[in-house]
Amino acid sequence: MKKKDFVTLIMSTVGGILFALGMCMALLPEWGAMSQGVVIGIVGAVILLAMVLVRRKMDGKPAIVFNGKAIATTLFGVVGAIILGIGMCMTMVWGMMVPGIIVGIVGIVALLCLIPLIKGLK
């Protein structure tokens, strides 16, 4: 395993766990830890963002590239994640099972469309 892959593995695991734990703490009222969950979620998100910058630095690439395609791809990913989240809320919170599943599948398909959008078709 290359050094950059190991660093990415460790940082993404730690960041993902902290982010997920923070989201659970913030969104589960039974835990009563809203403010602590927000802080832990933000720490996890910062670690994940730092992981992207570290990985790009280890690959010898510039930290962040701002161009039209990168911005459009990012916005498409955010919209896909929001659609998936709305579908999850419809299913789990609002009690609309079938419409929530349909909306969630639309969000999943949108996120899957990111793969050919980013990598391209060969």
Task: Indicate the range of 4-18, 38-52, 54-68, 99-113 predicted with least confidence.
Answer: 54-68
How many whole angstroms separate alpha carbon 45 and alpha carbon 22? 10
Whether 60 and 1 share a structural domain: yes
Number of domains in the chain: 2
Domain end, chosen from 16, 35, 64, is at 64
- pLDDT > 70 in the chain, percent: 100
46 with 95, same domain: the answer is: no
Give this prediction's pTM. Answer: 0.63
At which residue do the structure tokens 């963002």 appear?
A: 49
Whether 7 and 33 map to the same domain: the answer is yes
Quote the mean pLDDT of the chain. Answer: 90
60 and 82: one domain?
no
Query: What is the domain extent for residue 106?
Result: 65-122
Q: What is the DSSP string of 57-112?
A: HHTT--S---SHHHHHHHHHHHHHHHHHHHHHHHHHTS--HHHHHHHHHHHHHHHH
Q: With 90 as the cut, is the pLDDT of residue 59 above it?
A: no
78 and 115 housed in the same domain: yes
Mark which of 64, 90, 108 sits at the end of a domain.
Answer: 64
Domain boundary among 42, 64, 86: 64
Task: Verify that 83 and 69 share a domain, yes or no.
Answer: yes
Pair (2, 59) in one structural domain: yes
How much is the pLDDT for 58?
Answer: 87
Average pLDDT for 8-17: 93
Same domain, 27 and 55: yes
- What are the pLDDT digits (tens) for 84-119? 999 998 998 888 999 999 999 999 999 999 988 888
